[in-house]
């Protein structure tokens, strides 16, 4: 059986090469930016929504992110991390937004609603969501950001590392330790 890690790395490399070609084309013609927009708009929107808690604000900030990206594309030097660049722009837009509003969406609001018709299952899911939210609130902002980038924005460890200023391996280790710590906290609260 082939090792899935090299296959995943190869797939990531192929995707980044394709993205690099799209970036080059978009630098020549703004209309060529559309495939990049469609590739990243949903994760950027989800990430911003998780921070603002308001759909119209998230839509507005998402459009600002992509407008800034399109305007700054000429100066962008593609190093294989377009997602990191876009989420860097998103983080700045969110910071500007919070300077004005000082609001943030609680994690419970980001967690999906149960589709299970069984009321007991729903109660258990709600209790689990509250435990996760409680453990999340106890984290420092840097750790909360790691979780948002990985699970809300669904970024790769390499992109997360680029955004927070560490290596891919360090980002993966930090997140694994963080999740283990949260799990221990949730076990204590279940007690």
47, pLDDT greater than 90: yes
Considering the domain architecture, whether residues 12 and 52 belong to the same structural domain is answered as yes
Residues 48 and 115 in one domain: no
What is the model's pTM?
0.72
Question: What per-residue string of b and e applies to 131-141 under the rule 16 or more CB within 10 Å gives b?
Answer: bbbebbeebee
CB-based contact 49:105 (threshold 8 Å): yes
**Which structural domain, as residue segments, surrounds residue 8?**
1-105
pLDDT tens-digit series, residues 141-155: 889 999 999 988 989
**In a shared domain, residues 7 and 83:** yes
CB 44, CB 86: distance < 8 Å: yes
Domain harbouring 176, CATH code: 1.10.10.10
Q: Could you report the per-residue pLDDT of 53-74, keeping only the tens digit for each? A: 889 999 999 999 999 999 999 8
Total domains present in the chain: 2
């Amino acid at each position: 059986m082939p090792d899935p890690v090299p296959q995943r790395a190869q797939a990531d490399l192929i995707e980044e090469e394709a993205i690099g070609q799209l970036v080059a084309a978009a630098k020549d013609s703004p209309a060529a930016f559309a495939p990049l927009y469609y590739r990243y708009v949903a994760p950027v929107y989800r990430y911003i929504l998780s921070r603002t808690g308001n759909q119209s604000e998230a839509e507005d900030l998402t459009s600002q992110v992509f407008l800034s990206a399109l305007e700054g594309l000429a100066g962008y030097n593609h190093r294989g991390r377009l997602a990191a660049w876009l989420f860097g722009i998103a983080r700045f837009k969110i910071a500007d937004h919070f300077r004005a509003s000082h609001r943030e969406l609680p994690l419970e609001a980001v967690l999906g609603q149960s589709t299970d018709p069984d009321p007991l299952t729903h109660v258990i899911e709600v209790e689990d969501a509250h435990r996760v939210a409680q453990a999340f609130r106890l984290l420092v902002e840097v750790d909360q950001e790691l979780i948002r980038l990985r699970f809300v924005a669904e970024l790769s460890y390499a992109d997360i590392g680029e955004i927070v200023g560490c290596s891919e391996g360090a980002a993966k280790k930090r997140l694994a330790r963080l999740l283990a710590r949260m799990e221990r906290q949730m076990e204590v609260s279940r007690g």
